[in-house]
Amino acid sequence: MRMRRLMALALAGCVTVSVTACGGSGDTAATAAGTTAAATDTTAAADAKDTDTTAAAEGSSKGLTPEERAKEFITVGTGPTSGIYFPIGGAFATALGDYGYQTSAEATNATGQNIQNILNGDAEIAIAMQDAVMQAYTATGAYEGKEAASGLKALMRLWPNYVQLVTTADTGITSVADLKGKRVGVGAANSGVEINARMILDAYGITYDDITPDYLAYGEAIDNMKNGQCDAVFVTSGLPNATVMDLGVSYDMVVIPIDGEGREKLVNDYPYYAESVIPADTYNNKEDVEGVFVYNIMLVREDLSDDMVYDILNGVFENISTIKASHNAADKNIDITFGVDDIQLPLHPGAEAFWKDNGYIK
> Do 263 and 269 contact (CB within 8 A), yes or no?
no
In a shared domain, residues 242 and 133: no
Counted domains in the chain = 2
Q: Are residues 178 and 308 in the same domain?
A: no
294 DSSP β-pair partners: 161, 273
Whether 148 and 13 map to the same domain: the answer is: yes
- Decide which of 294, 309, 329 is a domain's last residue: 294
β-strand 232-237 against 153-168: which pairing, if any?
antiparallel
Q: How confident is the model over 130-175, as pLDDT tens digits?
A: 999 999 999 998 899 999 999 999 999 999 999 999 999 999 999 9
Q: What is the mean pLDDT of the chain?
A: 85
pLDDT tens column, 98-107: 999 999 999 9
- Is there a domain that residue 362 lies in? no
What is the spatial distance between Cα 100 and Cα 83, in angstroms, rounded to a whole number?
A: 27
Cα–Cα distance, 84 to 334 (Å, whole number):
14
Alpha-carbon distance values, 35 to 41, 65, 74 (Å): 18, 18, 10
What amino acid occupies position 297?
A: I
Q: Is 162 helix (H, G, I), strand (E, B) or coil?
A: strand
Mean pLDDT of the 113-138 span? 96
**153-168/289-300 β-pairing:** antiparallel
* Residue 164 per-residue DSSP state: E
The letter for the amino acid at 240 is: P
CATH of the domain at 240: 3.40.190.10
Domain that holds residue 77: 2-159+297-357
Stated pTM of the model? 0.73
Looking at the domain assignment, is residue 78 inside a domain? yes
CA angle 237, 277, 256 (to 5 degrees): 75
User: Could you say which of 269, 294, 319 is where a domain stops?
Assistant: 294
Does an H or E element contain 34, and which? strand 31-35
Same domain as 100, residue 202:
no
Sign of the CA dihedral running 297, 301, 302, 307: negative
Residue 280 has pLDDT above 50, yes or no: yes
